[in-house]
Amino acid sequence: MTIAPGCHDGPLYALKKVNPYFVMKEWRDDRQLGITDFERHQELQDVAGGIARMTADRQQYWLSELDKIYEHDPSAEMRRLAVVAAGRADEANGLDLLRKGLDDDDFKVRMEACRGLGKRGDEEAARLLATTVNADPDDDVRNSAIAALGRFQSPVAVDALRIALNDSDPSTQRLAVNSLRDATGKDFGDQPQEWIAALDAAGSDSADTEASTERF
């Protein structure tokens, strides 16, 4: 039997993928050199799961560490977990890392940033989500932002969701309708055009009221 040249890990490459001895030996060798990727992933999961119960000082410490991970780790999954943790921190913390997450190259990281922002109640989070709805090129990310905006009772959220009603994808339109129900506390049916007409009428009534007030 002739072994074809050019195999990147030699003739035992396939065997190493199916034989647990080789896998565990490599893991042990890695552990001697330092913490393994598996352990790093597990520890970051633990931080994400417990950060909400930490004191403000401990949250600040870990958010500083998470920011370093986000800036320097090539793994999208590690960056995603850093953003998960930031989204579970107190509202006074974590916003900077969530903002960075919205610009990540990996769409899953951006989706996680949207979910984290949706847990906050401040106007800045609503504004960031609204910008994402209008600007992100990935439909999944935009839909994550649309879903998150349903948790904000603010004009910024309603305006962004109003624009999303014109999306060509029916599933995105339905998601926008559901979020508008939560954001407005109203129900104008299931059709996007019904919502558009109702929101436009409400905006027109509000503008007329303001004009009348200014005259007096």
The whole-number pLDDT of residue 34 equals: 52
Closest CA to 108 of 151, 133, 134, 75: 75
Q: What is the pLDDT of residues 175-216, one digit of tens each?
A: 999 999 999 999 999 999 999 999 999 875 554 434 333 443
Binned at pLDDT 50, 70 and 90, residue 17 comes out as very low
DSSP 8-state class, residue 92:
T
Residues 6+ apart with CB under 8 A from 164: 133, 142, 146, 172, 173, 175, 176
Give the relative orientation of helices 139-149 and 170-184 as an angle to the nearest 10 degrees: 20
pTM: 0.78
Q: 210: buried, middle or exposed (CB in 10 Å: 19+, 13-18, 0-12)?
A: exposed
Q: Which amino acid is at 16?
A: K
Cα 78 from Cα 151, distance rounded (Å): 27
The answer to whether domain 48-120 and domain 130-205 are alike in fold is yes
- The CATH T-level fold of domain 48-120 is Leucine-rich Repeat Variant (1.25.10)
Domain ranges within the chain, ordered by starting residue:
48-120, 130-205
Cα 126 from Cα 1, distance rounded (Å): 64
Cα 132 from Cα 164, distance rounded (Å): 11
The whole-number pLDDT of residue 83 equals: 97
| Architecture of the structural domain at 130-205 | Alpha Horseshoe (1.25)
Cα angle: 157, vertex 153, 173; to 5 degrees: 45
